[in-house]
Structure 1
Amino acid sequence: MRWSRALRRGTCAGLAMAGLLAFPASTAPAGAIPALVTAMVPGPSQRADFPELTPAVAARLDTAIRQVMREAGVPGVIVGLSAPGKGSYVRAFGVADKASGAAMSPGLYMRIGSETKTFTVTALLQLVDRGKLGLDDPIARYVDGVPNGDRITLRHLAGMRSGLFNYTEDDAFVKAFLADPERPFTPRQLLAYSFKHPVQFQPGETFAYCNTNTILLGLVVEKIGGRPLPEFVEKNVVAPAGLRHTVFPSGAAFPNPHAHGYTRQTASGEVEDATDWNPSWGWAAGAMISDLPDLRTWARVVATGTLLTPKTQAERLAMGPTGIPGTGYGLGIFTVHGWVGHNGSLPGYESLTIYLPEARATLVALVNTDIRYEGVAPGTLVGQAVTRVVTPDHEFVLPASPASPAPASPTTPVSPTTSASPASPRPSAPATGHGD
């Protein structure tokens, strides 16, 4: 999700916000994981009572989304909702650029934060399918210098159960980022912020959304895949999935046309245009860019395992407990009240891409702000508003994330959602939750 949580509480590329999920740590034993799978990821034989997307339902959705925008102060929103035999709902609301007043459009590129994790982990799982590595291999086999690296496995990293410190919670990282949001970071620089801290818990003991995990997996994909991560993801994930407008940028480059993004994750605490900020600090955990049509395709691909063997996809969907009822986190993917996918968040942008297996329904929401409203991420608010109308028995609900009381120490929402971005430090700032 951008499983979203405050930076200092554990952000994942949403700074989670590169992916936002704001899950508290769970103390459930690792052995409890398999029991959740059937209950949390329904089989295709089950059918949800998904409504036909008639003009009347569309009008209700329009009203619900506009209400969220009005109350939370969201500049612009793009939404795509569909299910076989039920029709399609595609809308854009508000503005893509507050300075010019340009309208939001369904075809605009957006930064997707922690949804990048779904691409990185898919690449990793493809290498598993090719027999190049194993999920229970220790990370020390591939990357030197990882604290507890001989005990932390690739499965622990992909499932957010490593115990490593989240680099986006490090004071020095936050200071460096806020001092110059356009500066580049390398993966090794990001890991250095994490590795100077002791491990938080032993591998597999609990769930804690952490961008450090996915940065390490990106390095593994590069090493075993034999090419830079963006190239490997493009050739083996993006292209085979049929995605034509999904990009893993090497820096701050942003294809046109794109929406401007607005954040309060700033040194001054004032709202700023973060459009050209460098997302390299999120890298494998939160740097990617996409658009509505591609994400509508990706929602189904990642949730159904189109690019993986059935065995590996089943392992991916083995949702472990997160500490929040009705939710679970697998290998770079989450479930929230039946919806399967991920969210993302980083300064200025939030995304939500989810799939409901029972109805084979897809929902994508893209927002050009990460400023929370009463502690809840705007992407989550939009997802909740839409699902409350069409699937009230499967409402996308995530709890609010606490804001840091110290303005000098910005926090980052993480989502199963997210994703890799620093979150707003001001309690008064409306912002998004989940990772991110």
Structure 2
Amino acid sequence: MRAQTRQFQGGRRRRAVSAVVAVTVGVLTLGALAPPSVSAAAGADAVQRALNGLVRDDGMPAALASVQARDGRTRTYTAGVGDLATGSKVPVDGQVRIGSNTKAFTAVVVLQLVAEGRIGLDTTVDTYLPGLVRGEGIDGSRIKVRQLLQHTSGLPDYSRYLGEDARYYDPRELLDTALRHPADFDPGKSWKYSNTNYVLAGLLVQKVTGRPLAQEMDRRIIKPIGLRHTYFPAPGDASIREPHPHGYLRDAPDGPLRDITEIDPSWGWAAGQLISTNSDLNRFFTALLGGRLLPPAQLAEMRTTVPAEATFGPGARYGLGIVSRPLPCGGLSWGHGGSFPGYETRGGATDDGRAAHVAVTTQLTDEAARRNLEHAVGTALCP
């Protein structure tokens, strides 16, 4: 949710869920495999300099990047410290919590089911989940599947109303939390980022397929395109499996950084639970734009956009689980972006095969730091 990256308040780890609410911190994302690190060339490389600046000037404990050129060659970068307690190095292309980049995966699964004739984009939610979506100004018989994926449903965002316990949340509990509050607007009448849309899309996938969302992502996306470092954590799994930089939380603007690496991610579910690497994100978005995950008709629907500048910045437009943003060198990048306690990711892929992702190991609450992170992505995509 690039939507709002809400600042954490209070000093207890259990407050992470209620304070964070921003599983998407919107921006782009992309794809490719990662060869050896090029940190030896740091002095002359603009991407490395940008990462060094994020650590030096913006106080990020660590920054990581993976950049794919048009010819498919990939370079990886690191800066900072992977673990403040031990001073260990940042793992090259380490795993991070990718937050709302998860939405693009969820949207792909839904659109694959559309291609199979099992879901209709302009069919109402009630067709598949009769009577489930009801509330003040909320009626599932008036909300279309397309409106879930494009954030035009008017459903309130459950993440604004979560409690303070960093515990397991069942998807239905997340939906029920949202439905206790009035609609933001009538379906199709406006645009507003809401994680509830994607929790409902995940429930829709499970109802139609009869299988868990995590299993559908794994068999439809992760395994077919070889995302070897991407997975949907199982219930109760608060860890990160493979080498990873630690993620940190600052309770107050001038407060110390706390290690928040291990946290139950279930409050993000279909809107933000995945763990991945920059290179796997590059591979995913490259495969998506290249037509390897969706037929042309569904990919075209995914790339049909509405204005989303209020959340994603100047020139940004939101499609079906994917964001287009203008590049400083001209043209567009396509991706999403994500924010989760301890981590932020930004990136994007282009139609000509370029891709780049950058991750930092604390959530951004400062506008200047956000601009610098986005500048690092622009630097990587516009060599």
TM-score w.r.t. structure 2 length? 0.83
1:381 match: 372
Contact 2:97 / 2:275 at 8 angstroms: preserved in 1? yes
Change (3 A) 1:263 1:105: same
1:145 to 105, 113, 132: 132
1:160 match: 151
Secondary structure of 1:18's match?
A: coil
Change (3 A) 1:13 1:163: farther
Pairing 1:316–2:307 present: no
1:332 match: 321
Deviations 1:155-178 (A, max 9, x none): 0000011101001112xx1xx2x3
Structure-2 separation of matches of 1:390 and 1:134: 35
Secondary structure of 1:326's match?
A: coil
Secondary structure of 2:114's match?
A: helix
Structure-1 separation of matches of 2:206 and 2:276: 22
Contact 2:126 / 2:140 at 8 angstroms: preserved in 1? yes
Change (3 A) 1:265 1:200: farther
Structure-1 separation of matches of 2:53 and 2:90: 17
Contact 2:99 / 2:273 at 8 angstroms: preserved in 1? yes
Structure-2 separation of matches of 1:58 and 1:194: 49
Matching of residues 41-52 of structure 1 within 5 Å? none
Following superposition, the deviation at residue 265 of structure 1 comes to 5.6
Secondary structure of 2:155's match?
A: coil
Structure-1 separation of matches of 2:72 and 2:263: 39
Following superposition, the deviation at residue 346 of structure 1 comes to 0.8
2:202 to 218, 222, 240: 218
Secondary structure of 1:263's match?
A: strand
AA matched with 2:25: L
Secondary structure of 1:363's match?
A: strand
Count of residue correspondences? 346
Matching of residues 33-432 of structure 1 within 5 Å? 59-85=45-71, 87-143=73-129, 144-146=131-133, 147-170=138-161, 173=162, 176=163, 178=164, 180-181=165-166, 183-250=167-234, 251=236, 252-264=238-250, 271-323=257-309, 324-337=313-326, 338-357=332-351, 359-374=352-367, 376-377=369-370, 381-388=372-379, 391=382
Unaligned ranges ≥5, structure 2: 8-16, 28-40, 327-331
Contact 2:5 / 2:339 at 8 angstroms: preserved in 1? no
Following superposition, the deviation at residue 264 of structure 1 comes to 2.8
Structure-1 separation of matches of 2:248 and 2:287: 30
Structure-2 separation of matches of 1:259 and 1:369: 10
Pairing 1:19–2:8 present: no
Change (3 A) 1:225 1:57: farther
Contact 2:94 / 2:277 at 8 angstroms: preserved in 1? yes
Contact 1:13 / 1:345 at 8 angstroms: preserved in 2? no
Task: Choose 244-253 or 87-96, whichever is displaced more.
Answer: 87-96
Contact 1:14 / 1:345 at 8 angstroms: preserved in 2? no
Contact 2:91 / 2:244 at 8 angstroms: preserved in 1? no
Structure-1 separation of matches of 2:177 and 2:289: 32
Question: Higher RCO, 1 or 2 (CA under 8 Å, sep at least 6)?
Answer: 1
Change (3 A) 1:325 1:64: closer
AA matched with 2:185: F
Structure-1 separation of matches of 2:55 and 2:360: 10
AA matched with 2:206: E
Report sequence identity in percent. Answer: 35
Secondary structure of 2:45's match?
A: helix
AA matched with 1:145: L
Contact 1:20 / 1:114 at 8 angstroms: preserved in 2? yes
AA matched with 2:373: V
Following superposition, the deviation at residue 67 of structure 1 comes to 1.5
Change (3 A) 1:386 1:371: closer
1:49 match: none
Secondary structure of 1:165's match?
A: coil
What is the root-mean-square deviation in Å for CA atoms of aligned residues? 2.7
Structure-2 separation of matches of 1:242 and 1:87: 17
